[in-house]
Structure 1
């Protein structure tokens, strides 16, 4: 499966980071790229359960291509969400089912920095994305 252009850009950006400090800074910059959710979208119906921090997910589609928007109050988590979304936005439901989140974050060099609770939260987001697909 080919990567969307923004996902290839993320890989290139993170490949140039020698250490965690630079990755963390870049992660927060990616989080700032998330379009803010409207107040009415930050509702219980859009909330992702299984995350320690508050996370909201809104789904849309263009034909069979899926698109998602997400938000969180946690800065690092917003960055992780942004990176997850660049990996899954524009995919079909079938392609989405094949995405390996752990592998994606390993490719970005972020796997070691994901605490078990953050990994569980990202998996909860991916599960919700697949449900909405």
Structure 2
């Protein structure tokens, strides 16, 4: 089951009829996210496979996963914020069970992202799964 934050995004998307409005929503959601500290934008946190610059900084406290992230592309920064809504607060042992493709499919993102953006999104999800598999 998705988090309350992600469910709120799903509900908001249902009210937005136009994809331009949905893109603006994702961009604005990313703008509202606190920027990743420059000191954390290092090779170890960089996600490869994205057309833009992307950094994900994972955090595991106890058995709960969360991450912060950033990108130099506004739409990708928004996608990071959406992924944070999906994954932050999930127990480490349950992260692998999150069907990100299905959840993001509820937003219709699978049909409206460019191939490069889709590949980058998959790379971010893979990084999250790798980090949590190592932490488990």
Q: Look up the match of 1:91.
A: 90
Structure 2 Cα separation of the partners of residues 63 and 87 of structure 1: 19
Structure 2, unaligned runs of 5 or more? none
Structure 1 Cα separation of the partners of residues 114 and 38 of structure 2: 29
Q: Are 1:65 and 1:90, in contact at CA under 8 Å, matched by a contact in 2? A: yes
Matched positions, count: 132
TM-score (norm. length: structure 2): 0.91
| Superposition deviation, residue 24 in structure 1 | 1.0
Deviations 1:83-110 (A, max 9, x none): 1111011112232101222212210122
Q: Look up the match of 1:12.
A: 11
TM-score (norm. length: structure 1): 0.93
Structure 1, unaligned runs of 5 or more? none
Q: Are 2:66 and 2:89, in contact at CA under 8 Å, matched by a contact in 1? A: yes
Q: Are 2:64 and 2:90, in contact at CA under 8 Å, matched by a contact in 1? A: yes
CA RMSD of aligned residues (A): 1.1
User: Relative to structure 2, which stretch is displaced further, 48-57 or 123-132?
Assistant: 123-132
TM superposition outliers: structure 1 runs of 4+ over 2 Å: none
